[in-house]
Structure 1
Amino acid sequence: MALNMSFRQQVINYSYLVLGAFTLSFGIVGFLSPNKIVTGGTAGMAIVLHHVFSLPTGVLLALINVPLLLISIRFLGKYFAVKTVLAVVLISFFTDLLSYGFQLKPLCDHTLLATLYGGGVVGVALGLIFKAGGSAGGGTILAKMITEKYPVKTGTVVLIVDVLVVLLAGIVFRSVELALWGMISIYIASRLIDLVLTGKSTAKIVHVSSSTNLSALAQMLHHELQLSGTFIRGTDLLQGEKKDVLLVVVENNRLYHLKSLISFFDQTAKVVVMEAAELHGTSPVINKKALVTH
C-alpha cells in the first residue's frame, strides 16, 4: 500500500513538473519576451540574450543552466537534482517549441498587461515546479552553492540574482522603465508562488494575553463563536509574573467579532494576530477550511 501511494505521489509530482515547465514557457513566449519584460534568474537572462543575439530563448536557457547544474550537482540532493535537470530540459524544449514550432504570437503588446499576466503565469509555473520538488535552475542553484559556504539566506541570494538580472536588462535595453516593470513582474511572481505552495489563508492565529483570568474569556468565545483554544503558560518579561496566553484559530470573517469580544472582556488585553498559512489536524475551523479548499 505504501509503495502504491509513493508511486502515485511521484506521478503527481512529475505531472506538476511538466505542467509547470510548459506554463513557464508559455509565460515567457506569450507575455514577457516579446515585450522585453525580464523576470529574474536564468529565464530573465535568456530573454536579454535573445534580444541581443537573436538566438532561440530555449537554447539560451539550456546553455546558461547546464554549466550551473554541472558545477553544483554535489550541492543538490539526488531527487532535487533529477527534477531540476528535467525541469530545465522541459522549459528549454517547450519555449522553443512554442516559439518556432507553434509560432505562438505575443498575446498582448501592452506593457502593463504583459507585466501583470506574465508575472502571474510565471509565478504559478514556478509554484508548480517547486511543489513537485524541483526548481527552474538559475538563482536557486546559485543560492544552494553559496549558502553551503557562507551564512546567508537562500531567499536573499535569489533576490540579489533577480535584481542584478533586471538591472542588466535595463542597461542592455537602455530603459529604466523596463527594469521597473521587471521588478513588478518579479513581485507578482513571488506572490503567486506563495499562493500555489500554501494556498490562500482563510484563518488567523490569535494570541491573547491578559492579567485577568482567561478561562472566562475562553468560555465566552466557545459560547458566542463555538471556538476552542489552547492555554500557554508564560512569564511577563518586565514584571516577572506568571500569565496565561490564549491561542485561538479563527476564520477571517469572524476575526472582527472575536476582537470585539476580547475588547469587551478586557480592554487592556494584548492581542497578536498572525496569518495561518496552513492548518492540519482536527478542529471545527480546520475541518471547515478543508471543505472549502478541496
Structure 2
Amino acid sequence: MNLKKKYLKSFYRRDYIVILLGLSIYAISLTGFLIPYKVVMGGLGGVSLLIKYSTGIPIWASYFIINLLLLVLAWFFLGRKYVLKTLFSSVGLTIILNIAERHITVALVGNETMAILVGAIGCGIGLGMVLASNSSTGGTDIIAAIVTKYHYISMGRVLMYVDVFIILSSYLLFQSIEKVVIGFVISSIIYYAVDMVIDGSRQSVQFFIFSPKYDKIASHINSELERGCSVVDGVGWYSQEPQKIVMLMVRRNESTSVFRLVQRIDKDAFITQTNVTGVYGKGFEPMIGTKSKVDG
C-alpha cells in the first residue's frame, strides 16, 4: 500500500469512536440542556434552533437539509477531499440528534442557569473532540472556508461575523435582549471549551521536524496537507554532522495530521511542537496594520 493510500486511511478506528462520542455529547447537551430553555447560539446549530422555535421543525431535519446544501457548495468550491472529510460527522450528528430529540423531551436540569452552563460546556467539549480527531461537522465552517479561499480574511473572523448575525437574529423571534446576551455567552463558553479540548486557545502551532527522510516528509506535507514548509540547514552539535530540518506552521486542528504523516514516513523522527500566538500571511491572519477586501 503506497503512502497516499495510507494517508487516506489516517482516520483510525479510535478516531471514529471519539468522533461519535463527541457528537453524542454535543447532541445530549443541546437537546437536554439548551433546547428546553429556548436559548440560541451561533453556527448551524443556532440556525436550526431558531427554525425549531419558530416552526416546530426538528433540529435534526433542518440541520440535515441545510448542511446537505452547504456540502454541495463545498464539493464545487472546496473539493471532494473536504466533503469526504466532513461527511461522516455531518451524517452522524444528524442521526444522533434525531435519536436525542425523540428520547429527551424534558430538561435534564431544573435550574436554567446551571442548564445553560452545562449545555454550553458540553457542546464545546463535543465539538472539540470532533475537531481534535481531524474532522468537522460542516455547517458555518463551510461558509467560512469558501469565503477565506477567495478573500483575504481569517476563517475565525468569518465565523465570528456569521455567529453574531445568527444570534442577533434571535431578537426578531423572541423580542428579548436577554436572549441575545445569553446567546453570546453560550457561544463564548462553547468556543472556550473547544479550545481547551484541542489543547489551548492558540490559533496555530509551529513544527520542527528532524529526520533523514526530510525530503519525503516535506513533499507529502505539500501534496497531502496542502501546506507550505521550509527545509533549513542545521548541525547536530553532539555529532557535529549537518542535518536538514523541516519547519512549518499549521492550524491547531491540523496537528494530528502532521504527526500521522511524519510517523508513517519515519517513526524515529524527532518532532517539536510550539504554540504560536500569531501567524500572519497567506492561509493565516492578515498582516497587522492592513485591511482585507472584506473588511473594507
Structure 2: how far apart are the matches of 1:43 and 1:116? Answer: 17
Shift in CA distance, 10/148, structure 1 to aligned 2, threshold 3 Å: same
Q: 1:196 to 1:75 in 2, by over 3 A?
A: farther
CA RMSD of aligned residues (A): 2.7
Percent identical pairs in the alignment equals: 25
Q: Measured at CA, do residues 132 and 282 of structure 1 come closer, stay the same or move farther in structure 2, by a change above 3 Å?
A: closer
Inter-CA distance 130–75: structure 2 relative to 1 (3 Å threshold): farther
- The question of whether the paired residues in 2 share the 8 Å contact of 1:22 and 1:90 is answered with no
Equivalences for residues 131-146 of structure 1 within 5 A: 131-146=132-147
Secondary structure in 1 matching 2:198? helix
Structure 2 gap segments, 5+ residues each: 203-254, 260-269, 273-296
Q: How does 1:96-111 map to 2 (within 5 A)?
A: 96-100=98-102, 102-111=103-112
Question: Which structure 1 residue ranges, 5 or more long, are not aligned?
Answer: 202-277, 284-294
1:113 pairs with 2:114? yes
Aligned to 2:128: 127
Q: How does 1:175-194 map to 2 (within 5 A)?
A: 175-194=176-195
Question: 1:126: Cα distance to partner?
Answer: 0.9
Q: Aligned-pair distance for 1:170?
A: 2.3
Q: Distance in 2 between matches of 1:104 and 1:20?
A: 21
Structure-2 change in CA distance of 1:282 and 1:95 (3 Å): closer
Shift of 1:92: 1.5
Query: Where does residue 44 of structure 2 map in the other structure?
Result: 42
TM-score normalised to the size of structure 1? 0.63
Q: Is the 8 A contact 1:16 1:131 kept in 2?
A: no
Alpha-carbon spacing, 1:282–1:147, altered in 2? closer, same or farther (3 Å): closer
Letter in 2 for 1:142: I
Matches within 5 A, 1:223-242: none
Amino acid at match of 2:99: L
Deviation, structure 1 residue 200: 9.1
Moved >3 Å (runs of 4+): 1-9, 74-80, 280-283
1:92 lines up with 2:94 in the alignment: yes
Call closer, same or farther: CA 1:110–1:75 in 2, change over 3 Å: farther
Residue 98 of structure 1 deviates from its aligned partner by 1.3
Partner Cα separation in structure 2 for residue 26 and residue 163 of structure 1:
24
Candidates 27, 30, 45, aligned match of 1:28: 30
- What letter corresponds to residue 154 of structure 2 in structure 1? K
Secondary structure of the structure 1 residue equivalent to 2:17: helix
Residue 80 of structure 1 and its aligned partner are, at CA, apart by 3.8
Alpha-carbon distance in structure 1 between the residues aligned to 2:153 and 2:8: 34
| Number of aligned residues | 205
- When Rg is computed on C-alpha atoms for both structures, the one with the higher figure is 1
SS at match of 1:198: coil
Instruction: Give distance in 2, aligned partners of 1:64 and 1:11.
Output: 28
Give CA deviations for 1:28-79 in whole Å, capped at 9, x if unaligned: 1011111112121110110110011111111111111111110122444545
Contact kept? 1:17, 1:132, Cα under 8 Å? yes
